[in-house]
Amino acid sequence: MLYILDTADTEKIRRYTYYFPIAGVTTNPTIISKEKRDFLPLIKEIKGIVGDSRMFHIQTTSQDADKIIEEAKALREIIGEKLYIKVPISQEGLRATWMLKERGFNVTETAIFTQQQAMLAATAGADFVAPYVNRLDNIVSDGVNVVSEIVQMFKLNDIKTKVLAASFKTVEQVHKIAMVGCQSVTVNPDVLDQLIYHPMTMLAIDDFEADWKTVYGNKSILDLIKE
Ligand code: E4P
């Protein structure tokens, strides 16, 4: 599973890339706006944290294909090879997708709500498609089922585009995504915290520590080996 961090909060990116096996960062205009910072220093700082080995997905703000290309070119000057241009699906977005691919860009087609949007994006050459699970659930659709059908459809048709499931609120949504064979998720830090937490795990760790101390006190394994 590729776990990607869905935030532009640099402190959180620093913290979560330190602890978790994070493959990259995704942003969108809403996520960027929340930081209330100048755009250029913000994306440079994020790039500095994620480094050259992790992906950095940045969404363009223009809704015109030619302008999307110009934004992408300017972003690539700053971010380099691991930049993924996020393009919301639309006619201009689709045109921008194949034009970006012709120019050697990585592309993530975003704001995907249906299976056929995903198919069109993949056919245009997108590297990732990002279906919005929780937003689908919120409109009494079934986010997991949409992702499941996109995964199956790509498999059946031998399509290499990856499914980057997005928009999560619960552990259950992330788990069900994994159970339908989806290869990648982008989750915000709160959901990542929920994914690792279980009260029984905390209890088990406390019990291990208490039992150890009844015999060895505050000495660690290293203390005992070096004695
Ligand atoms: C990521 O690509 C999406 O923009 C993001 O996951 C949307 O999440 P939200 O529905 O919580 O805003």
pLDDT digits (tens, 9 = 90+) for 89-139: 999 999 999 999 999 999 999 999 999 999 999 999 999 999 999 999 999
Instruction: State which amino acid sits at residue 118.
Output: A
Which tokens in the block code for residue 154? 């790509």
User: Token pair 């290309």 is at which residue?
Assistant: 69
What is the per-residue pLDDT for 148? 98
What is the per-residue pLDDT for 45? 98
* Dist. CA 115–CA 128, nearest whole Å: 13
* Dist. CA 8–CA 27, nearest whole Å: 6
Kindly state if the Cβ of 26 falls inside 6 Å of ligand 1: yes
Which tokens in the block code for residue 9? 């909060």
Helices (H), the chain: 10-19, 29-34, 39-50, 65-79, 91-102, 115-123, 133-138, 143-156, 171-179, 189-196, 199-216, 221-226
What is the chain's mean pLDDT, rounded?
A: 98
3-state secondary structure of 162: strand
Atom of ligand 1 nearest to the CA of 108: 2
* Dist. CA 172–CA 155, nearest whole Å: 24
* Dist. CA 114–CA 193, nearest whole Å: 29
Active site residue 86: yes
Model pTM? 0.96
Residue 73 binned pLDDT confidence (cut-offs 50, 70, 90): very high
- Among protein residues, the one whose CA lies closest to atom 12 of ligand 1: 167
What is the per-residue pLDDT for 4? 98
Kindly state if the Cβ of 72 falls inside 6 Å of ligand 1: no
- Among protein residues, the one whose CA lies closest to atom 5 of ligand 1: 167
What is the per-residue pLDDT for 227? 87
Residue 82: which H helix or E strand, with range?
A: none
Residue 53 binned pLDDT confidence (cut-offs 50, 70, 90): very high
